[in-house]
Structure 1
């Protein structure tokens, strides 16, 4: 069971993510096809669960953290995105920052991150990528599968970013001692 401050913190993270999704949905008709909105929705749902109970394994928090780092770091350069609108600021800066802070400062099971977790944390963004290409979603101009060389290069950069983040979290966890 989580302490009251941890539960409240995680509910704040969930509320921020959910607010970003709601504001984006009001702005865009196809909000549900963008990784930013889907990732924030996942954070909102999962952090409500994490507010109630933190599982023994840090896998979920690690997967959400790497996903939100991807959302936060890829948005501005790949979308020429702006952060002036509330939904964009919440989804691309505030929520990713809060999720990273949760992993680094709040979680108690960092020591349980396994060497193979960062590899499995690639599953959610890979599933999105398969849906993106297979469904010809064309949400991101910078990820146009019709230009395979540029598409492949950008995917390679994003993959490197995700793996570096994941193994950074692994190293961080390996240096921590168990807390209860």
Structure 2
């Protein structure tokens, strides 16, 4: 079991993500086709579980952190997004920041990050990309598969961003010593 402060912190993260998704769902009919909402929904569900128990492997938290960095950094330049709406601020700034802080400051198993984790953390956004292209979702004007050169260039930039984030998290994890008391291993 997590300590009470860690559990409360993770419930705060889950609440921020769930609130963002709930507000976005009120705003948009097809909210479930956007990576921002799906990522925040994943954070809400997973952080409810992490509030109770932190797994021995940091894989899940690393995958969520990488995904939320993508959501945060890609939204404004690629969507011409604004952060004036509460849902947008929660989904693209507040929740990603909280998830990054959780990985950097709260997690106790950073030493268990493996070199291949950053590569495997590409699986969730890749699955979304395959669905996005396969079903012609056209949620993002900046990611229009009908313009292959521009689409490929932007996907390449996002891939580089994800890998840099993932290997940055790996490097951070390898520098932190293991916590002696991993009570919920």
Smaller-chain TM-score range? over 0.9
TM-score (norm 2): 0.97
- 2:81 aligns to what? 81
Partners of 1:98 and 1:175 in 2: CA distance = 21
- SS of alignment partner, residue 146 of structure 1: coil
Structure 1 residue 102, shift from structure 2 partner? 0.1
Query: Deviation above 3 Å: which 4+ runs of structure 1?
Result: none
Matches within 5 A, 1:6-25: 6-25=6-25
Match of 2:53 in 1: 53
Q: Secondary structure at the match of 1:98?
A: helix
Report the counterpart of residue 152 of structure 1 in structure 2.
152
For the pair 1:33 / 2:37, whether they are aligned, the reply is no
Report the 3-state secondary structure (helix = DSSP H, G, I; strand = E; otherwise coil) of the residue aligned with 2:25.
helix
Runs of 5+ in structure 2 lacking a partner?
none
Q: Distance in 2 between matches of 1:37 and 1:67?
A: 12
Deviation at 1:164, TM superposition (A): 0.1
Quote the Cα distance in structure 2 between the aligned partners of 1:27 and 1:70. Answer: 22
CA offsets 1:44-98 (integer angstroms, 9 cap, x no match): 0000000000000000000000000000000000000000000000000000000
Q: TM-score, normalised by structure 1?
A: 1.00
1:10 Cα deviation after fit: 0.1
CA distance in 2, matches of 1:110, 1:135: 37
Shift of 1:38: 0.1
Name 1:121's counterpart in structure 2: 121
Alignment RMSD, CA only?
A: 0.3
Cα distance in 2 for residues equivalent to 1:30 and 1:151: 22
